[in-house]
C-alpha cells in the first residue's frame, strides 16, 4: 500500500484549499481538546497526589479565602506534640485574587529552614543561601517567571507586596511552579500589617502508618474550645474542597472536548465524501486497471486518516508548544491548577485523530468500493 501514498498526497493537493481548511479546522479542534485535557490532568494530579494523603492542612474553621483565615502560630507547638506528627510548617498565604483567575499570583511565606524540607525544589537559577539571608527575598516558580518575565535579581511588586527574586525554581509538583515562596515574617509584616504570630494555615506532615483522619480529628478536638477553632483535612481533600466549584466547571467542560472530537469527525468525513464524489469516475478507472474494491476502500481510508492525523499532529504540537512556553494555570482561593503538557496527553490526542480518521473514511470508502464500474465511467 505504501506505493499508493504519492497518489493519495496528490489527490489531497489537487483540492488544496479544501484540504488546508480541513486540516486547519482539525488542528484547532485538537488544540482545544489538548487544552481541556491538560486542565483535567492538572486537577487530577493536584487532588490525587499520593503525598497529599500523608499531609494535613489545618485551617480556620468556616473560612475559605486565605486572607480570612487567621490561626495563632503557636498552635504549631501543640500540634507537634500529637503522636504521629513528623513536622509542622506554619504558612502565610497571600493572593491578589481569591476568585478563579488565569493569572493569580499566590505567595506562600514560611520559615526558610522549613522550605528545604517541606518542598522538593530544584533551583534553575539563584541561590538558596541568598534567599535565606535576605528578608524580602523570594523564590519564584518557573511558570510564574515565564508568565511575568522574571529572572534572578528582578524586583517584583503585586499589590502592596514587593520582593526581590533570589531564585527561580522548578518543582516535581506541577502546581507549585506557579507559587512564590517568601520568608514567613516578611509576609506577616507586608502590606503595612503586623500579623506576626498569626498564619493562614498549618501544614502537618505525618509519619508512615498513621491514620490521617484520626489525627485530624485529634487536632480539631484540641482547639475546639480555643481562641480559634480549626478544620483539618488531608491536603488532597482540602484542595478538592477549595476547588469544588472550579472542579464542577472543569467536569462540565470535558463535554467540550467530546464536541471537538465530533467536529473533527464531521470535518474529515465531509471532505472525504466530497473527494469520493469528485473522483468516482477515477475510482472506476482504477478498478478497470486491476485494483480490487478492497484496495479502493483502503485508498479512501488512508486519505481520510492522513487528513485527520496531519491536523491532529499539528494541534497536539501547537498545544504542547503553547503550554510549555506560557506556564498557564488557573487558581481559586490560593490553590493553583497547572496546565501541564504530558506525553500521555500528546499520545492520546494523536490516537484520537487516527481513530476519527478511520471512522470518517469508512462510509465514503465503502461507497467508493461498491460503485459499479460502467455507470461510474458514464459520469461526465
- For residue 291, what is its C-alpha cell? 485494483
3-state secondary structure of 287: helix
58: left (phi over 0), alpha (psi -120 to 50) or beta: beta
CB atoms within 10 A of CB 274: 14
Task: Please name the residue that has the C-alpha cell 511575568.
Answer: 148
Q: Contact, 191 vs 32, CB < 8 A?
A: no
Answer whether residue 196 shows pLDDT above 50. Answer: yes
Q: How far apart (Å, rounded) are the C-alpha atoms in residues 327 and 177? A: 8
CA–CA dist 338, 356 (Å, integer): 28
Alpha-carbon gap, residue 154 to 142, rounded angstroms: 14
Parse the chain into domains and list their residue ranges. 2-46+245-378, 62-228
Tens digits of residue pLDDT in 142-155: 888 888 888 999 99
Q: What's the whole-number mean pLDDT along residues 59-64?
A: 79
Write the DSSP string, 295-335.
HHHHHHHHHHHHHHHHHHHHHHHHHHHHHHHH--EEEETTE
3-class DSSP state for residue 15? coil
Categorise residue 22: left if φ over 0, alpha if ψ from -120 to 50, beta otherwise: alpha
DSSP secondary structure code for residue 53 in this structure: G
CA distance 279 to 272: 11
Q: Which residues make Cβ contacts (< 8 Å) with residue 134, sequence separation at least 6?
A: 164, 166
Question: What pLDDT is recorded for position 182?
Answer: 93
Q: Give percent above pLDDT 90 in the chain.
A: 17
Distance (Å, whole) CA 345 – CA 348: 5
The residues, any chain, with a CB within 8 Å of residue 47's CB and separated by 6 or more, are 236, 239, 240, 243, 247
Residue 370 banded pLDDT, cuts 50, 70, 90: low
- pLDDT for 280 equals 61
Closest CA to 214 of 187, 190, 233, 236: 233
User: Which pLDDT tens digit goes with each residue over 163-188?
Assistant: 999 999 998 888 888 899 999 999 88
Q: Does 327 or 29 have the greater pLDDT score?
A: 29
Render the burial of 49-72: b for 16+ CB within 10 Å, e for the rest. Answer: beebebbbbbbbeebebbeebebb
Q: What is the pLDDT of residue 244?
A: 67
- When mean pLDDT is compared across 3-12, 32-41, 56-65, the lowest value belongs to 3-12
State the average pLDDT for the chain. 81
**For residues 69 and 65, what is the distance between their CA atoms, to the nearest angstrom?**
7
Amino acid at each position: 500500500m505504501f506505493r499508493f501514498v504519492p497518489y493519495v498526497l496528490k489527490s489531497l493537493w489537487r483540492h488544496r484549499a479544501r484540504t488546508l481548511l480541513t486540516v486547519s479546522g482539525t488542528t484547532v479542534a485538537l488544540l482545544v481538546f489538548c487544552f481541556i485535557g491538560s486542565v483535567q490532568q492538572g486537577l487530577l494530579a493536584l487532588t490525587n497526589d499520593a503525598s497529599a494523603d500523608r499531609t494535613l492542612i489545618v485551617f480556620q474553621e468556616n473560612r475559605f479565602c486565605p486572607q480570612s483565615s487567621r490561626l495563632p502560630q503557636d498552635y504549631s507547638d501543640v500540634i507537634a506534640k500529637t503522636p504521629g506528627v513528623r513536622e509542622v510548617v506554619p504558612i502565610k498565604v497571600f493572593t491578589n485574587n481569591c476568585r478563579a483567575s488565569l493569572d493569580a499570583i499566590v505567595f506562600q511565606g514560611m520559615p526558610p529552614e522549613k522550605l528545604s524540607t517541606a518542598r522538593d525544589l530544584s533551583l534553575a537559577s539563584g541561590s538558596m543561601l541568598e534567599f535565606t539571608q535576605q528578608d524580602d527575598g523570594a523564590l519564584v516558580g518557573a511558570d510564574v517567571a515565564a508568565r511575568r518575565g522574571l529572572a534572578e535579581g528582578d524586583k517584583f511588586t503585586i499589590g502592596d507586596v514587593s520582593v526581590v527574586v533570589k531564585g527561580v525554581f522548578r518543582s516535581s509538583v506541577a502546581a507549585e511552579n506557579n507559587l512564590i515562596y517568601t520568608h514567613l515574617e516578611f509576609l506577616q509584616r507586608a502590606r503595612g500589617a503586623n500579623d506576626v504570630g498569626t498564619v493562614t494555615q498549618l501544614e502537618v506532615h505525618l509519619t508512615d502508618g498513621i491514620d490521617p483522619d484520626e489525627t485530624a480529628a485529634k487536632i480539631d478536638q484540641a482547639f475546639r474550645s480555643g481562641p480559634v477553632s480549626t478544620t483539618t483535612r488531608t491536603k488532597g481533600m482540602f484542595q478538592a474542597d477549595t476547588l469544588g466549584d472550579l472542579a464542577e466547571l472543569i467536569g462540565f467542560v470535558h463535554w467540550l472536548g467530546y464536541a471537538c472530537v465530533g467536529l473533527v469527525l464531521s470535518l474529515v468525513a465531509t471532505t472525504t465524501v466530497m473527494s469520493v464524489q469528485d473522483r468516482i469516475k477515477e475510482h472506476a478507472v482504477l478498478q478497470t486497471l486491476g485494483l480490487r474494491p478492497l484496495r479502493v476502500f483502503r485508498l479512501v481510508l488512508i486519505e481520510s486518516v492522513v487528513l485527520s492525523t496531519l491536523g491532529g499532529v499539528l494541534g497536539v504540537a501547537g498545544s504542547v508548544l503553547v503550554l510549555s512556553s506560557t506556564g498557564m494555570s488557573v487558581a481559586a482561593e490560593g490553590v493553583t491548577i497547572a496546565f501541564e503538557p504530558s506525553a500521555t496527553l500528546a499520545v492520546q490526542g494523536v490516537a484520537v485523530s487516527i481513530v476519527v480518521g478511520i471512522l470518517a473514511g469508512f462510509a465514503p470508502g465503502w461507497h467508493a468500493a461498491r460503485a459499479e464500474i460502467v455507470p461510474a465511467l458514464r459520469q461526465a
